[in-house]
């Protein structure tokens, strides 16, 4: 990933006599449909997305508030991308903005725009923490590496090729990363399903409430309010992210930006299928029949570790390493985007207009 990111970024920037900040932040506004679909999808399908979806499905063993029906992030984020395509993608691209803060800064002034960057940066920081944590937990289970070491190494690798190539490095590595995610997880699923400790994944018993079946989860009457509220949070909270608008604003045309949002939403939903299957496999596993020594007293395992545990204890070592590559790719595809979007907002909406209004940055 590091080599691909460096080569792609340097090649893209070397095609121009002088690379401007727009070339670095928005890849010269030259992202086509094929690469755009991959980078839009890969940005949302991070380590937290994969681990969290599988965790929600597996967590149906604990009762209310879990199961496939409560794996709301894939559907919520997909809808948010489609809403972005309907309402925001084309107007934002037509206006030629660089960040999602630009229209607010133009309307409300430089200082208010700078203030609005703060919650956006906070979101990026917590988002990055969640996805790096997902990689750390996976590495700690599969190869015994300390979490803090994996977090630092993966963050430094992503930062290095982002600094060298900007968005061009990010989007081209996203293509490879999304392929790695799909190939790694899909490869692991049949091996895990055929493990002797795994029961029939698609034949799960009806739970005691008789409201739905096994890992599909269920909704109680009093849970509807929370259920709807979570969806509203995901659909509308998934819109104001610079990682999304960075790709919209880097699209070649306004219409392309809109189509990119629609197809990215579909891709995001499809990429939820492998982690859903991993969660269902974990649900159908008798963990006492595996070599895992951390099984809880009730026969379950920690839900937040379900992805690395399935890879480590239900698949051959070689397949587990391939699955680890998938999780690593997922983390890198989101971490690099978050780093670039944060730095773009700070440079464009805080540093230049507030601290250095006369600055003119030309990258060579």
Provide the b/e sequence for 280-300 (b: ≥16 CB within 10 Å): bbbbbbebeebebeebeeeeb
Instruction: Tell me the sheet residues that pair with 213.
Output: 206
With 80 as the cut, is the pLDDT of residue 355 above it?
A: yes
**Any idea which of 10-19, 45-54, 216-225 has the lowest mean pLDDT?**
10-19
Cα separation, 136 vs 327, in Å, equals 10
pLDDT tens for each residue of 104-157: 999 999 999 999 999 999 998 888 888 888 778 777 777 788 888 888 888 888
Domain for residue 270, yes or no?
yes
47 lies in which domain range?
31-344
| pLDDT tens digits along 64-118 | 557 898 899 999 999 999 999 999 999 999 999 999 999 999 999 999 999 999 9
Residue appearing with tokens 């969660």: 279
The answer to whether the Cα torsion of 248, 235, 159, 342 is positive or negative is: positive
**How many whole angstroms separate alpha carbon 3 and alpha carbon 250?**
23
Asked whether residue 209 is assigned to any structural domain, the reply reads yes
Query: Above 70 in pLDDT, residue 27?
Result: yes
Q: What is the mean pLDDT of residues 198-206?
A: 76
Report pTM. Answer: 0.87
Q: Is 12 contained in some domain?
A: no
Helix (H) or strand (E) holding 363: strand 362-363
Instruction: Calculate the dihedral angle through the C-alpha atoms of 99, 101, 105, 111, rounding to the nearest 10 degrees.
Output: -110
Confidence class for position 200, pLDDT limits 50, 70, 90: confident
pLDDT tens digits for range 256-297: 999 999 999 999 999 999 999 999 999 999 999 999 988 988
Q: ∠ at Cα 260 (182, 35), nearest 5°? A: 55
- Element at 186 (helix H, strand E): helix 147-193
Question: Taking a C-beta distance cutoff of 8 angstroms, is the pair 281, 193 a contact?
Answer: yes
Q: Is residue 182 part of a domain?
A: yes
SS3 label, residue 259: helix
Q: What is the spatial distance between Cα 47 and Cα 70, in angstroms, rounded to a whole number?
A: 18
pLDDT at position 208, please?
47
CATH number at residue 263: 1.20.1730.10
The answer to whether residue 354 sits within a structural domain is no
pLDDT at 198: 94
The sign of the CA dihedral 253, 254, 257, 263 is: negative
- Name the β-bridge partners of 31: 251
pLDDT given at position 249: 95
Provide the mean pLDDT of the chain.
86
Q: Taking 50 as the threshold, does the pLDDT of residue 56 lie above it? A: yes
Q: At residue 257, what are phi and psi to the nearest 5 degrees?
A: -65, -40
Domain-embedded: residue 278: yes
* Alpha carbons 80 and 236: distance in angstroms, whole number: 6
Of 8-12, 227-231, 248-252, the poorest mean pLDDT is in 8-12
Q: What is the pLDDT of residue 206?
A: 54
Whether residue 223 lies inside any domain: the answer is yes
| Residues forming beta bridges with residue 285, ordered by sequence position | 198
Task: Give the pLDDT confidence score for residue 61 in this predicted structure.
Answer: 58
Tell me the pLDDT band of 344, cut-offs 50, 70 and 90.
Answer: very high
219-245 average pLDDT score: 90
Number of domains in the chain: 1
For residue 364, what pLDDT is reported? 33
Residue 110 falls inside a structural domain: yes
Neighbour-count burial for 210-245, b at 16+ CB within 10 Å, e otherwise:
eebbbbbbbbeeeeeeeeeebeeebbeebbbbbbbb
Segment 309-342, tens digit of pLDDT? 999 999 999 999 898 888 888 888 888 889 999 9
> Any bridge partners for residue 251, and if so which?
31
């Amino acid at each position: 990933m590091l080599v691909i990111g460096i080569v792609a970024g340097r090649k893209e920037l070397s095609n121009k006599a002088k690379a401007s900040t727009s070339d670095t932040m928005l890849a010269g506004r030259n992202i086509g449909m094929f690469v755009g679909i991959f980078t839009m999808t890969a940005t949302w399908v991070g380590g937290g997305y994969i681990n969290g979806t599988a965790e929600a499905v597996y967590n149906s063993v604990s009762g209310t508030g879990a199961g496939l029906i409560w794996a709301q992030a894939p559907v919520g984020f997909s809808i948010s991308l489609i809403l972005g395509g309907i309402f925001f993608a084309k107007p934002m691209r037509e206006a030629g903005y660089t960040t999602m803060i630009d229209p607010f800064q133009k309307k409300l002034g430089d200082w208010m725009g700078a203030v609005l960057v703060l919650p956006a940066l906070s979101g990026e920081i917590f988002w990055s923490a969640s996805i790096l944590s997902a990689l750390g937990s996976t590495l700690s289970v599969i190869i015994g590496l300390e979490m803090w070491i994996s977090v630092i190494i993966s963050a430094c690798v992503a930062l290095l090729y982002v600094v060298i190539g900007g968005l061009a490095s990010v989007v081209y590595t996203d293509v490879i990363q999304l392929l790695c995610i799909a190939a790694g997880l899909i490869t692991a699923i049949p091996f895990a399903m055929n493990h002797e400790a795994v029961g029939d994944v698609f034949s799960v018993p009806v739970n005691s409430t008789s409201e739905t079946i096994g890992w599909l989860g269920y909704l109680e009457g009093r849970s509807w309010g929370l259920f709807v509220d979570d969806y509203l949070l995901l659909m509308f909270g998934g819109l104001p992210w610079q990682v999304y608008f960075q790709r919209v604003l880097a699209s070649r045309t306004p219409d392309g930006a809109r189509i990119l949002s629609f197809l990215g939403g579909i891709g995001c939903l499809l990429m939820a299928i492998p982690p859903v299957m991993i969660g269902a496999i974990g649900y159908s596993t008798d963990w006492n029949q595996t070599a895992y020594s951390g099984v809880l007293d009730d026969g379950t395992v920690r839900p937040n570790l379900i992805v690395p545990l399935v890879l480590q204890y239900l698949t051959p070592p070689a397949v587990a390493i391939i699955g680890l590559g998938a999780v690593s790719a997922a983390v890198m595809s989101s971490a690099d985007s978050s780093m670039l979007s944060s730095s773009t907002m700070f440079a464009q909406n805080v540093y230049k207009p507030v601290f250095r209004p006369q600055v003119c940055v030309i990258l060579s």
